[in-house]
Amino acid sequence: MDVQAVRQDFPILKRSINNSPLIYFDNAATTQKPRQVIDAVSNFYENHNANVHRAVHTLSLEATDLYEKSREKVSKFINAKEPSEVVFVRGTTEAINLVAYSWGLSNLGKGDEVLVSLMEHHSNIVPWEITAKLRGFTIKYANVKADGTLDYDDFESKFAKKTKIACLSHVSNVTGVINDVKRIAKAAHDNGALMLVDGAQSVPHIAVDAQNLDMDFLAFSGHKMLGPTGIGVLYGKKELLEEMPPFQGGGEMIKEVAFSQGKGCSIIWNELPWKFEAGTPNVGGAVGLGEAVKYLQVIGMDNVLSHEKDLTKYAVKRMQECSKVTIHGPSDLSNKCGIIPFSVKDLSSHDVALICDNYGIMIRSGYHCAQPLHQKVLKLNSSDRASFYIYNTREEVDRFVEVLKEIDQL
Amino acid sequence: MPTLEDYIARVEGTCGAEKDVIVVFKFDKKDEAIARIIKKAKLKNTIAGIIYELAFEDKSFRLYASGKAIFRSIMNKEELNKLLSSLLLQD
């Protein structure tokens, strides 16, 4: 992979922040957009913008064609059986909420259990906690080891006849640890439960094969994989999506809304995936996501992961030169994506992030929407996080370490 | 008569157990805001003229040349406003 050539595609990387060249290390929060994605979205609004489906005019047909072609691209990218298993949503959060409300409210009740890990992002905890209060089911939390890796024995021991669904991140947004979701999916299926995978941090960084991993649901966001904000995906096995009631009601998700005398209103839901896409969808966003997928495919997902792993290994080694820096997470980097959580002795995470900001380096500070992992497992009030993507370089890591060394002197 | 709104673009609560508050100064007023604060508060430490560790009354805080300040142990908005008014508006 030619990183310098890749960097040329990202206009924002030419920026300076606080009189320093921008170094963007907050890719686990959102990624920057290549010219190809920006142009695809602009081209859509400049030349093809119309509402999708139903209209017969040319623009609508063009918009529909672009929208559905993006679905096909995404479907192939994650190896879904067919495009109808790909539902466009706002992002990972909405995808998980869709499952929790649509599948959860219909299938979970008193005595049932949902199994969730303690390393989850809040978006894979809160929807279940909300629906548990509505339906009275129980949530069991599987432990995470002190180094941030999943306690597989604990997870598997918590399956019971009452377990209806297991929910797990494919990659932790705090530590970058890659979980063996295939193993947990098998355990779930052996116990008659379903498997939901939060792929927000995996689909952008590693080759994800939904069929091979045998996940029932997979949620991910476009903006974390070079696409626009406000577009994401819920993948679901067709037979499950077909049985689920709609999440939201409105236009687009129905085939027919008819009033017949004495019988009131009868509604026939639309086919998949449109049953779950009420209202006008984010067409421009979907087009941008399709272009982002194409961009990643040209690079190759194996190259994406290999680049990130190389950078992570290099960064960890260099960061260890800083006496006040503690790196959290597993010391074995072989099963990790490009995320490095760390703390600096005697400094709050926000101070460290603001000092880095002064030098044009964007890193994240806080809980990273994973308070349970910080408090119950890592025993931290907060942490800093550097997260890499295809356009980051060793030279940027060197500059980052220089700043950390200055912080060392504080 | 200047007001806090003349100097401050945004106030953000931070994420994490510390519950710090970050004050972001307006870009075109940040240098003036920094000068006023440095004049008022007690300078405890400075690093390369870009980070100032300061104390004022019973509060310690850090001020950044990029136009941001991070305050700790602020109980509520009123307390923050009172502190910022003392630092920015009173001679």
Pair (A86, A140) in one structural domain: yes
A167 is catalytic: no
Instruction: Please give the average per-residue pLDDT across A380-405, as a whole number.
Output: 96
Nearest to A185 by CA among A161, A152, A207: A152
Distance CA A166, CA A194 (A): 6
Pair (A59, A179) in one structural domain: yes
Residue contact B66–A367, C-beta within 8 A: no
User: Does some domain include residue A335?
Assistant: yes
pTM of the model: 0.93
Residue contact B15–A382, C-beta within 8 A: yes
Q: In this structure, what CATH number is given to the domain that contains residue A392? A: 3.90.1150.10
Q: Which residue of A has its CA nearest to B14?
A: A366
Cβ-proximal residues to B20 (8 Å cutoff; 6+ apart), any chain: A348, A350, B13, B14, B70, B71, B72, B74
Instruction: Please give the average per-residue pLDDT across A324-329, as a whole number.
Output: 96
pLDDT, tens only, A153-190: 999 999 999 999 999 999 999 999 999 999 999 999 99
Sheet holding B51-56, edge to edge: B8-13, B21-25, B68-71, B59-64, B51-56, B42-47
Q: Which residues pair with A235 in a beta bridge?
A: A86, A218
**HSE-up (13 A, CA, CB side) for residue B22:** 21
When the pLDDT of each residue in chain A is averaged and rounded to a whole number, the result is 96
Residue contact A350–B65, C-beta within 8 A: no
Q: Is the Cα torsion angle A34, A40, A45, A49 positive or negative in sign?
A: negative
Instruction: Please give the average per-residue pLDDT across A353-374, as a whole number.
Output: 93
Domain limits for position A378: 3-32+300-402
Residue contact A354–B64, C-beta within 8 A: yes
User: Does some domain include residue A410?
Assistant: no
- Using an 8 Å CB-CB cutoff, list residues of chain B that contact chain A: 14-18, 20, 22, 45, 47-48, 50-51, 62, 64-66, 68, 70, 72
Pair (A281, A371) in one structural domain: no
Residue in this structure with the two tokens 């602020």, named with its chain if needed: B74
Mutation site for A-interface testing, chosen from B12, B15, B24 by largest number of A Cβ within 10 Å: B15
Quickly state the pLDDT bin for A333 (edges 50, 70, 90).
very high
Distance CA B54, CA B85 (A): 16
Pair (A162, A229) in one structural domain: yes
User: Does some domain include residue A409?
Assistant: no
User: Does some domain include residue A173?
Assistant: yes
So what's the pLDDT on residue A117? 98
- Chains A, B: CB contacts within 8 A come to 61
So what's the pLDDT on residue A249? 93
Partners of residue B20 in chain A, C-beta under 8 Å? 348, 350
Q: Which of B16, B47, B50 is nearest residue A366 as measured by Cβ atoms?
A: B16
User: Does some domain include residue A408?
Assistant: no
- Which one of A167, A265, A356, A369 is the catalytic residue? A369
**Number of compact structural domains in chain B:** 1
CB distance A104 to A133 below 8 Å: no
Pair (A276, A307) in one structural domain: no
% of chain B exceeding 70 in pLDDT: 99
**Number of compact structural domains in chain A:** 2
So what's the pLDDT on residue B74? 85
User: Does some domain include residue A77?
Assistant: yes
Q: Which of B18, B65, B70 is nearest residue A358 as measured by Cβ atoms?
A: B65
Min CA distance, B72 vs chain A (Å)?
A: 10
Distance CA B76, CA A224 (A): 34
Quickly state the pLDDT bin for B19 (edges 50, 70, 90).
confident
pLDDT reading at A115 higher than 90: yes
Q: Which of B20, B47, B50 is nearest residue A350 as measured by Cβ atoms?
A: B20
Phi, psi (deg, nearest 5) at residue A254: -120, 155
So what's the pLDDT on residue A407? 87
Q: In this structure, what CATH number is given to the domain that contains residue B36? A: 3.30.310
Nearest to A113 by CA among A101, A128, A124: A128
* R_g of chain B computed on alpha carbons: 12
The residue out of A274, A297, A320 marking a domain boundary is A297
Helices (H), A177-282: 181-190, 210-213, 238-243
Distance CA B30, CA A204 (A): 38
Q: In this structure, what CATH number is given to the domain that contains residue A223? A: 3.40.640.10
Residue in this structure with the two tokens 């047909």, named with its chain if needed: A61
How many other C-beta atoms are found inside a 10 Å radius of the C-beta of residue A17? 16
Pair (A324, A197) in one structural domain: no
User: Does some domain include residue A66?
Assistant: yes
Pair (A315, A283) in one structural domain: no
Domain limits for position B53: 4-88
Pair (A184, A83) in one structural domain: yes
So what's the pLDDT on residue A394? 98
The SS3 of residue A241 is helix
User: Does some domain include residue A407?
Assistant: no
Instruction: Please give the average per-residue pLDDT across A93-101, as a whole number.
Output: 98
Instruction: Please give the average per-residue pLDDT across A108-117, as a whole number.
Output: 98
Q: Which residues pair with B11 in a beta bridge?
A: B23
So what's the pLDDT on residue A297? 98
Pair (A262, A349) in one structural domain: no
Pair (A241, A379) in one structural domain: no
Q: Which of A355, A382, A406 is nearest residue B16 as measured by Cβ atoms?
A: A382
Partners of residue A381 in chain B, C-beta under 8 Å? 16-18
Partners of residue B70 in chain A, C-beta under 8 Å? 348, 350-351, 354
The residue out of A266, A297, A328 marking a domain boundary is A297
pLDDT, tens only, B45-67: 887 678 899 999 988 899 998 89
Pair (A284, A396) in one structural domain: no
Instruction: Please give the average per-residue pLDDT across A357-376, as a whole number.
Output: 92
So what's the pLDDT on residue B18? 73
What letter would DSSP give residue A22?
A: -
The residue out of A262, A297, A332 marking a domain boundary is A297
Pair (A158, A273) in one structural domain: yes
pLDDT reading at A396 higher than 90: yes
- Measured in whole angstroms, how far is the alpha carbon of residue A31 from the centre of its chain? 11
pLDDT, tens only, A257-296: 999 888 899 999 999 999 999 999 999 999 999 999 999 9
Residue contact A350–B66, C-beta within 8 A: no
